[in-house]
Each structure stands twice: as structure tokens, then as C-alpha cells.
Amino acid sequence: MSLSDSKFISESKLLPELIQDTDFLNNSEISENAEKIINACRENKKERTKLDAFLSEYGLDNQEGVALMCLAESILRIPDSKTRDLIISERLSEGRWIEHLNKADSLFVNASTWGLLLAGKVVKTPLEWSQNPNKFLRSIVSKSGEFPIRNAVIAAMHILSQEFVMGRDFKDVNKIPGIEESIYSFDMLGEAARNQEQANIYYESYENAIIEVGKINLIKNKNNGVSIKISALCPSYEMRKYEDIKLNLVPKLIALTELGISKDVEITIDADAQVSGYHDYPVFTKKSITDLSYLACAKKIFEIDSIYPKFATHNAHTLSAINYLGRNKNYEFQRLFGMGELLYKCAEKILDNKQPTSIYAPIGKYKDLLPYLVRRLLENGANSSFINRLLDPETDAAWLASGPHKKIENERKDIPLPCNIFSNRNNSRGIDISEMDNLETIRTEISKYKNKSIDAVSIYNNRNADGAKKHDVLSLANGNKIGTVTFDDPGHLKKSLETENSVNWAKLGVNERAKILVSISDDLESDPYQLIYYLMNEAGKTIQNAIDEIREAVDFLRYYSNQMINIEERDQKLEGPTGEENILTYGPKGHFICISPWNFPVAILIGQISAALITGNKVTVKPSEHTSILGYIVVSTFHKNGVPTDALELVLGDGLYGDVLSKLKNINGVAFTGSLPTAKKIQNNLNENHKEIIPLIAETGGVNAMIVDSSALLEQATDDIVRSAFDSAGQRCSALRVLCIQDDIYNDLLEMVKGNMQELKIG
């Protein structure tokens, strides 16, 4: 089985094999030694690092831990004191810091708690805070003789930050006493590059790191290494940009590796995975199975003599199991800087472990630290984390030391598969384009339509083709002809369309109508490639946007079908006088006009007509003149799956045709998506041509804004800005149109956004 084939394999299928591969865990020595390590750590609790102490007190299981993590993620970036005060007010007002006072046995924790409690008390006086916060702060400070509150909290954040980071640069690292006593894998702090300028800066920092570590290794006679993040070197690190990766990323990796060899510096490559759930999950959903898989992989690695492995773990059972597996083998452990020191000291004594332990040591400035800091807090502050429970006397040491194979039964409850996340209907299926095989399949399938031409025409009874005008449709991607579209003479429309409504469709019954719509959804899902091709060529969509739009269309069909069945099944009996029975039921209105836009020519069109059809109405749909072929394909698919042609009619044409349709005498409702002026024109037509009120369901555009202040992580803001404003060329009613940026970060954010935009490709 290939890696891509096994990506979404069910963990229930893998579990028997994993249990078989890890049968060595049945040796009682492993769990017994793990329990000894845990007890030794608890007996020597005072030797733990400041960070371990802090995490054991403030985890994710209380409001204070969450508030602390929110602060750590944002407050160091805020340049002005007023905003800092507001952030402190928001994050600490709900914190019950008093519960932590003198509860922890670490001076560091208690000192920090006092500072946080002080802030908590301030923000619990909202009247004085709002009337004159600066004066009130000064009065508190003058009484306590301490720093201003915001500075105290920021100082606490800096202390916490320093526990995670070895130094700001290699000058700091070289000043650390006893650095030669351990082996380090240095990591230059920073997230994935958002533009080429960032990628170049990261590349230079890795180059410098390799040179500096080479000097340290030479002077100290050590084997320190450098960890390199692939996504930091390539702003377009995704499979669909494979050619760019080969051109820009691979040469950089080769150059850094060759530099590492020349300087005798070990290079570790960290690959950031991008995952999406499809027919199953690409990750294990249970922690015990994840741990089991880790040990199964460790066993296989030990079977290959040419591999020198490093095992990163902060789990006593994993340590004990690796020690058992690795007898007479060469390998090393790895822990995070500032964490796990006590665990490894105790393990070394109990296991008589002579294998080296390297330390993953981040280096960088505070502005680069924050995402890393939050990631570590989230990983190790969670209730399920071994670190979080290691020193907790209420957690049974024997249970904590037991192997993952014994904990599986307690985690047997499965989470719903992606296809089953909705309890009453199937979720729409996606295509994982992070795999080259799937990309190649899409390219192969859509290539079948390159030499085909669709002749799109209107579909309605008594159609008169006299005076119709045909024109060619050219691909927005390459200018090639992809079909023709015929617009009928609008003068003939009124006579042809003002016919009786489709009585048979209304009488069919909700369950039968729902069955037909669900069959349409299955049809679109099983063979989406024709729609993908025309979404790309007629509407100008990217592959991912085309897939997403089809998924939305499929979901509309299933959602409305399910909703209507539920409504039909629960007729409401209303309260009334004795002897009188009043029941509320639902029925079709009659004839609906649906007018859809070009920017979502499949999803919105199907959303409109599926809602109208499932309720038993006759529908006449006019797609945008710019996406007439797609409208023709969609309506033809509905007809093929059982929707009668007199229940669903298609009119192709420009805005003039929509004007004609909204003036028809036999309509009972209009669903429109488009511009506000057009919606108002339709509204006027309905008012002028009908005595009764005709419902108009109109979705029009607006001006969407985003406000970014200095507490925001610029990389994350950049992702959201570019995705919202420029994905699908910004042609969405929800697209970002106005961006408001705080002065202090204006230049930095703007440069990052501009650089990220340069990574986009048109065509």
C-alpha cells in the first residue's frame, strides 16, 4: 500500500497490526520502570524547572490557564499602554487567581500568581477603571510599591518566554555557562514564510546558525545540530505548487545540507504537515493509538542498522519502552529546552541509561517566540498531556505508567468520520489535492473535456427559436473555445413561460422529491470533473475553489431535502377553542424565478433551485450570462435524475432576460443573488405587475471590513487578508474590501501582505 493510499485508512483497521507490532509492551519491566521514574520525579519535585512548575499550576483546565495563554500570545506585541491595559482587563477579569495563591510549592508560580491577582483585582472595579484607569492604577501602585500593573504582567510574560527560549541570538547562547555539558538541536524561531523576503531572511538565519554551531562544535568538541523548517524556506509549500518547490526550495535545502556537512553540523528537517479530513481522518483520533504508533515506528527504525534515530518524548512510559527496545543500539533522546529536565534525570538513574539526550533549543526574539510559546503551552498544558499529570499527586502513578495498549479501551468511543459529522445527512466529499496522485487524476479527467464543445440552449416548453442568437464561449484560462451559448429572442419568452405550473411535481410528495435531489447530489459527487473543468474555464476558478463550490452545491441538495422532510413530518397542531382543530401545514407557493450570479455559478444556482424544488414549486432559473454553460450542465443534470422539464426551466440570457422574467404574471416568488441596484429593479417590477405581494429573496453585496491591531499575529492576519480579499480574485460578496490597520504595525503588515500577494499566480 502506498503512502497516499494509507493516508486516510481507518485506525480500526490499523489497530490490530499496531498491537501485534508492539507486543513487547507486555513486558512488565517497561511499565514498572516508568512508574519508578514517575515516583522519583514526584519525590524530587523541587528540582523541576520553572516552566514545569508553571505548567502544572496553570493548565488548560481552568480559566486562568486560558487567560494566561491568551496574554502570552498577544501582549508582548502591543506597543501602547492603553491597549495593554484593555487586554489585561479582558483576559484577567474572569481569572480566579486567588485559588492559586500559596497552593503551588514553587516561588516562581506564587510570585506570578500575586502579580496576576493584582491585575485581576484592578479589573474587577469596572466603574473606577472606566472613569480614570490611569489614576486608579497609580493609586494601587503607590500603595503596593510595585511596578505599574501592565509592566508587571508583561514582565511575567517575559520570564515565561525566557524559559522557552535559549537566547535571542548565538551571542546569548555562547554566554550560557555549562553549554558544553549537553547536546543541542538549535531552531531559529519563526513560523512559515508568507513571502519570498521572509523566506530569504529565514535562509540567511539558518546559514548563520550552521556556521555558529560549527564554531561551537569545534571549540566545545560537541555534536550540536540545527533544525530547519521547510515551510520557513518556501512561502508556497503545497503540492499544487510542486514545480515552484523544485525550483526554489530544493536548491536551498541542498545548499544548507552541504554547508552542514562542511561545518560538521547535524541537520534536522522539520516538515509542517497540512491536513484535511475527507472520507476518514489523516491522523489518529485517539491519543493511546498515537502513542502506540510511535512505539511501533520506533521498533521498525531500530531494525535498520544504518539509521541513527532520535526519539523526542516527555513521557516516562515511552522513555522506558525505547530504552527496552534500544538495548545494544545507538540512538539518543531529545527534550524541549526548559522542560523535562527532571524527568530525564530520574530516567537516567532508574534505567541506567547511557544514551545521550539532546535538547531542542529555540533561538530568536520575542516577536518570533509567541506562536511557538502558545503551541508549547497548548501541547503540554492540555489535560491529556503526560507533563500535565506527571507531578499531580491525584493521578495514580501506576495508571500513568501503563502502556497505551492498556488505555485503548477507555478511549473506544469513536468520533464521527468527516462524512458523518451531520447526524441526519451525509457530508459532501472533498478531494485531497495535497496528494500528487489526486492532482494527476483531476488533470487527467478534466483533460477529457478539452476537445469537447457544449452547445448550451434554453430549456422550457413551447420554446421558440426564431430570432435566437448564438455566440462562442472562450476559456478564461487560455482563450480556447469551450462551447456555444444561444440566447432566445426575449420577445418570445413571455408567451412561452406564462403557462400552468407543474402540478405533477407538487403532488409527487416530499420523500420522493427528496430522493431525487439526493440522487442529484450523489451524481455530482461521484463524477465532479466536468463541472470542475467548466468552473475553471468558464468561471475562472482554481482547482480548490472548484472543488469547494461543488461540495457546497452537494450540501445544499442534501440539507434542503433533509429540512423539508423534517418540516413535513411535524405538522403543528395549534391551540384553539374547544371543538375546533387548527393545524399548521406547509405547501408549495407555485412558480419561482431564480436568478443566480457568475461568481458562484454552481453552488448558488443549485442552492436556489433545490430549496424551491424540494418545497414543490415550479422553477424557472436564469444563470448569469457569463456562466451559461455551467447553468445548462446543472439543469440538464437535474433533468437526467428525474426532475421534470416542466418543473425546472432554464432561460439563458443577459440582464434584459431577468427583467422580462420578473414581469411575468404567473410567478409567486423570486430568489435573486446579485447587485443591489438590480435587486431594487426586480422589486419595482414585482410591485408594478402584481396586485398581491410577491416575495423577493435577495442576497446582495456589501462592504466587508477587517480591523487589525497590534495584538494580532501578523502571519495569521496576512493569511486571512489575502485569502479573503484575493482568493477567487476577490469575486465574492464576503470578500474583504476595507482593511484598517493600527499605525504601529501598518508598514510591517502591509509589506508582508504585498509579499504574500506576489506568491499568487493568475491562470
Cα separation, 150 vs 420, whole angstroms = 47
- The reply to whether 721 and 749 lie within a common domain is yes
Candidate ranges 219-223, 287-291, 577-581; pick with highest mean pLDDT: 287-291
Domains contained in the chain, number: 3
**Which of these, 527, 534, 559, 526, lies nearest to 483 by C-alpha position?**
534
Q: Which three cell numbers stand for residue 258?
A: 552541504
Candidate ranges 138-142, 409-413, 451-455; pick with highest mean pLDDT: 451-455
pLDDT score of 23: 92
pLDDT score of 7: 73
Position 598 in a domain: yes
Position 596 in a domain: yes
Position 762 in a domain: no
- Geometric angle at alpha carbon 179, from 178 and 185, rounded to 5°: 155
Burial class (CB in 10 A: 0-12, 13-18, 19+), 571: exposed
> For the residues 70-86, what does the mean pLDDT come to?
67
Query: Residue 90 sits in which domain range?
Result: 3-192+272-411
Position 247 in a domain: no
Q: Please, which pLDDT band fits residue 714 given cuts at 50, 70 and 90?
A: confident
Report the percentage of the chain scoring pLDDT > 70: 79
Cα separation, 593 vs 5, whole angstroms = 45
What's the farthest any 2 CA atoms get from each other in the chain? 100
CA atoms within 13 A on the CB side of 395: 20
Which of 660, 676, 695 is a domain's end point? 695
Cα separation, 521 vs 526, whole angstroms = 9
> For the residues 666-677, what does the mean pLDDT come to?
93
Position 314 in a domain: yes
> Which stretch of DSSP H or E encloses residue 732?
none
Cα separation, 516 vs 522, whole angstroms = 10
pLDDT score of 383: 47
More confident residue, 91 or 539: 539
- The reply to whether 720 and 663 lie within a common domain is no
Q: According to the 3-state scheme, what is the secondary structure of 65-80?
A: HHHHHHHHHHHHHCCC
Cα separation, 139 vs 132, whole angstroms = 11
Mean of all residue pLDDT scores within the chain: 82
Q: According to the 3-state scheme, what is the secondary structure of 395-429?
A: CCHHHHHCCHHHCHHHHCCCCCCHHHCCCCCCCCC
Q: Is 50 exceeded by the pLDDT of residue 553?
A: yes
**Which of these, 536, 668, 585, lies nearest to 240 by C-alpha position?**
536
- The reply to whether 442 and 492 lie within a common domain is yes
Global confidence as pTM:
0.76
Residue 142 neighbours by CB under 8 Å, 6+ apart: none
Q: Which three cell numbers stand for residue 336?
A: 524541549
- The reply to whether 283 and 394 lie within a common domain is yes
- The reply to whether 116 and 140 lie within a common domain is yes
Q: According to the 3-state scheme, what is the secondary structure of 94-144?
A: CCCHHHHCCCCCCHHHHHHHHHHHHHHHHHCCHHHHHHCHHHHHHHHHHHH
Q: Which three cell numbers stand for residue 230?
A: 521547510
Q: Judge contact between 739 and 709, C-beta under 8 A.
A: no
String of DSSP letters for 265-288: -EEEEE-------SSS-SS-SSHH
pLDDT score of 551: 94
Position 318 in a domain: yes
Q: Is 50 exceeded by the pLDDT of residue 459?
A: yes
- The reply to whether 560 and 611 lie within a common domain is yes
pLDDT in tens, 30-51: 999 999 999 999 999 888 776 6
Cα separation, 605 vs 635, whole angstroms = 9
Q: Is 60 exceeded by the pLDDT of residue 610?
A: yes
pLDDT score of 99: 61
Q: Judge contact between 421 and 427, C-beta under 8 A.
A: yes
Backbone Cα Rg of the chain: 32
Q: Is 80 exceeded by the pLDDT of residue 552?
A: yes
Q: What SS3 state is found at 673? A: strand
Q: Is 50 exceeded by the pLDDT of residue 258?
A: yes
CA atoms within 13 A on the CB side of 623: 34
- The reply to whether 32 and 124 lie within a common domain is yes
> For the residues 699-721, what does the mean pLDDT come to?
87
More confident residue, 692 or 178: 692
**Which of these, 545, 526, 520, lies nearest to 535 by C-alpha position?**
545
Q: Is 50 exceeded by the pLDDT of residue 403?
A: yes
Indicate if 552 belongs to the active site: no
End-to-end CA distance of the chain: 35
Buried b / exposed e along 619-638 (16+ C-beta atoms within 10 A): bbbbbbbbbbbbbbbbbebb
> For the residues 718-741, what does the mean pLDDT come to?
87
CA 447 to chain centre: 31
Q: Judge contact between 321 and 30, C-beta under 8 A.
A: yes
Which of 699, 715, 751, 759 is catalytic? The answer is: 699
Which of 695, 718, 746 is a domain's end point? 695
User: For strand 225-229 and strand 266-270, is the pairing parallel, antiparallel, or unpaired?
Assistant: parallel
Cα separation, 244 vs 239, whole angstroms = 10
CA atoms within 13 A on the CB side of 417: 15
Buried b / exposed e along 544-560 (16+ C-beta atoms within 10 A): ebbbbbbbbbbbbbbbb
Which of 32, 419, 733, 751 is catalytic? The answer is: 733
> For the residues 509-525, what does the mean pLDDT come to?
95
Answer left, alpha or beta for residue 642, where phi above 0 means left and psi between -120 and 50 means alpha: left
Helices 366-381 + 63-74 axis angle, to 10:
160
pLDDT score of 98: 53
> For the residues 74-91, what does the mean pLDDT come to?
68
Report the percentage of the chain scoring pLDDT > 90: 42
Q: Please, which pLDDT band fits residue 632 given cuts at 50, 70 and 90?
A: very high
Q: Please, which pLDDT band fits residue 627 given cuts at 50, 70 and 90?
A: very high
More confident residue, 575 or 668: 668
Candidate ranges 102-116, 183-197, 546-560; pick with highest mean pLDDT: 546-560
Q: According to the 3-state scheme, what is the secondary structure of 471-539?
A: EEEECCCCCCEEEEEEECCHHHHHHHHCCCCCHHHHHCCHHHHHHHHHHHHHHHHHCCHHHHHHHHHCC
Indicate if 733 belongs to the active site: yes
More confident residue, 702 or 714: 714
**Which of these, 716, 709, 694, lies nearest to 744 by C-alpha position?**
709
> For the residues 359-365, what does the mean pLDDT come to?
84
Q: Please, which pLDDT band fits residue 132 given cuts at 50, 70 and 90?
A: very low
Residue located via cell numbers 468511543:
413
Q: Is 60 exceeded by the pLDDT of residue 514?
A: yes
Q: Please, which pLDDT band fits residue 455 given cuts at 50, 70 and 90?
A: very high
pLDDT in tens, 170-229: 887 777 777 777 888 888 877 678 888 888 988 999 999 999 999 988 887 888 999 988
Report which DSSP code applies to 168: S
Q: What SS3 state is found at 654? A: coil
Cα separation, 115 vs 103, whole angstroms = 15
- The reply to whether 381 and 496 lie within a common domain is no
- The reply to whether 385 and 490 lie within a common domain is no
pLDDT score of 74: 64
Q: Is 60 exceeded by the pLDDT of residue 277?
A: no
- The reply to whether 477 and 399 lie within a common domain is no
pLDDT score of 242: 76
More confident residue, 374 or 355: 355
More confident residue, 113 or 665: 665
CA atoms within 13 A on the CB side of 89: 18
Cα separation, 31 vs 35, whole angstroms = 6
Buried b / exposed e along 492-524 (16+ C-beta atoms within 10 A): bbeebbeeebbeebbebebeebbebbbebbbbb
- Cα–Cα separations (whole angstroms), residue 170 to 186, 216, 560: 10, 10, 61
Which of 695, 730, 746 is a domain's end point? 695
- The reply to whether 734 and 663 lie within a common domain is no
Q: Is 50 exceeded by the pLDDT of residue 676?
A: yes
Count of Cβ atoms closer than 10 Å to residue 199 Cβ: 24
Cα separation, 723 vs 728, whole angstroms = 9
Position 611 in a domain: yes
**Bridge partners (DSSP) listed for residue 167:** 363
Q: What SS3 state is found at 574? A: strand
> For the residues 583-608, what does the mean pLDDT come to?
92
Q: Which of 118-122, 327-331, 677-681, 756-760 has the lowest mean pLDDT?
A: 118-122
Q: Please, which pLDDT band fits residue 64 given cuts at 50, 70 and 90?
A: low
Candidate ranges 243-257, 401-415, 615-629; pick with highest mean pLDDT: 615-629
Report which DSSP code applies to 693: P
- The reply to whether 683 and 713 lie within a common domain is no
CA 532 to chain centre: 23
Cα separation, 300 vs 295, whole angstroms = 9
Q: Judge contact between 112 and 156, C-beta under 8 A.
A: yes
Q: How many residues does the chain have?
A: 763
Residue 681 neighbours by CB under 8 Å, 6+ apart: 659, 662
Position 249 in a domain: no
Cα separation, 444 vs 529, whole angstroms = 9
Q: Judge contact between 726 and 62, C-beta under 8 A.
A: no
CATH, residue 665: 3.40.605.10
pLDDT score of 121: 44
